[in-house]
Structure 1
Amino acid sequence: MITMENIVRDGHPALRTVAEEVQLPANETEIKQLTEMIEFVKNSQNPEMAQEYNLRPGVGLAAPQINVTKRMIAVHVESNGTLYSYALFNPKIVSHSVERSYLSSGEGCLSVDEPIPGYVPRYARIRVKGTTLEGEQINIRLRGYPAIVFQHEIDHLNGIMFYDHINKENPLKEPENATPVSV
């Protein structure tokens, strides 16, 4: 079981490493790691489990955050009454909108302990391809908050942290051609 002790913190080299593709079909170790990742995200949102295991609530987790530099992400987020719950090997953004969006509250990260103020410009709509735990190839269209969460996690696979996107001169300057999204 993954706990907060397994989450590497900002400054750890795994967070700046470009993760390797998972050779498919995934091996037992990779399947176990990805299964534990999605369980962690779900558990972190359950108030009793979060309290019992001292988990910070999260909506996504990327393998580099548990010091595994492989292309695996877990996302469990609800938006407008729809649950987006995915554990994916080799997720890839295959298309995106020109329009941008950003979280009006700013972004946070389980690997970053302090709040970092600023808007993070993201694509408003994306299409992601990946392989599920069951080995099924999927293609999902995302917009709004789920699109932002997926982009955040896929950035981790490329050694990119959310704050890398924040305008250094003026962190709270609204990104151009971007619509605010609230959680």
Structure 2
Amino acid sequence: MLTMEDIIRDGHPTLREVAKEVSLPPSNEDIQTLKSMLEYVKNSQDAEIAKKYELRSGIGLAAPQINISKKMIAIHVKDEAGTQHSYTLFNPKIVSHSIEQSYLSSGEGCLSVDEAIPGYVPRYARITVKGIALDGTEVKLRLKGLLAIVFQHEIDHLNGIMFYDRIDKNNPLKPIDNAVPIDR
């Protein structure tokens, strides 16, 4: 079981690397790693388990955050309508996106960043992501709202980008022009 001890913190060089593609079909080790990443995210949202194991709550995790520089992400989050979504993907990539942008009105956080960094993070309002599921099948997802934001945050990790890199340094809380605020 992954714990907070397994998550590397801001400043660690792996967080700034471009992760490598996962060889397909994925190895048993890669499959187990991805399963344990999803298990961490799910456990971190369960109040009893999170307290017992001192887990910080998260909705997504990318392999570089556990010091594995491979393109793997796990996401477990409820959308704006309260519907639960769980995804595990190898080699996810954004294949198309809207011109329209969105952002989390509360700002973004990260399991690898201990302090709160205020500011709006511009993201695409709608994206299409392709990747490989745990069973080796290709998946194509059309996402919007919170789900689109979470996927962009995790895919950024695979490219060595941290969420705060996207915040306007001069005016972090300036509303983003023509962007839809997403409440969480």
Instruction: State the TM-score bracket (shorter-chain normalisation).
Output: over 0.9
Counterpart amino acid of residue 67 in structure 1: N
Q: Distance in 1 between matches of 2:134 and 2:3?
A: 21
1:63 aligns with 2:59: no
Which residue in the other structure is 1:42 paired with?
42
Counterpart amino acid of residue 32 in structure 1: Q
Q: Distance in 2 between matches of 1:161 and 1:81?
A: 27
Which portions of structure 1, spanning 4 or more consecutive aligned residues, are displaced by more than 6 angstroms?
none
Q: Distance in 2 between matches of 1:115 and 1:83?
A: 26
Q: Distance in 2 between matches of 1:3 and 1:73?
A: 16
SS state at 2:69 partner = coil
What's the offset of the Cα at 1:28? 1.2
Which residue in the other structure is 2:154 paired with?
153
What's the offset of the Cα at 1:82? 2.0
SS state at 1:115 partner = coil
What's the offset of the Cα at 1:181? 0.3
SS state at 1:35 partner = helix
What's the offset of the Cα at 1:118? 0.2
Which residue in the other structure is 1:180 paired with?
181
Higher deviation after alignment, 80-89 or 7-16: 80-89
Which residue in the other structure is 1:76 paired with?
76
Q: Unpaired segments of 5 or more residues in structure 1?
A: none
Q: Distance in 2 between matches of 1:167 and 1:7?
A: 27
Q: How does 1:18-167 map to 2 (within 5 A)?
A: 18-79=18-79, 80-167=81-168
SS state at 1:141 partner = strand
Structure 1 length-normalised TM: 0.99
Q: Distance in 2 between matches of 1:89 and 1:66?
A: 15
Which residue in the other structure is 1:12 paired with?
12
What's the offset of the Cα at 1:176? 1.6
1:2 aligns with 2:23: no
Q: Unpaired segments of 5 or more residues in structure 2?
A: none
> Percent identity, aligned pairs only?
67
Q: Distance in 2 between matches of 1:108 and 1:125?
A: 20
What's the offset of the Cα at 1:146? 0.7
SS state at 1:128 partner = strand
What's the offset of the Cα at 1:81? 2.8
SS state at 1:94 partner = strand
Paired residues in the alignment total 183
Q: Distance in 2 between matches of 1:67 and 1:159?
A: 12
Higher deviation after alignment, 80-89 or 163-172: 80-89
Structure 2 length-normalised TM: 0.98
Query: CA RMSD of the aligned region, Å?
Result: 0.6
Counterpart amino acid of residue 94 in structure 1: V
What's the offset of the Cα at 1:96? 0.4
Higher deviation after alignment, 170-179 or 63-72: 170-179
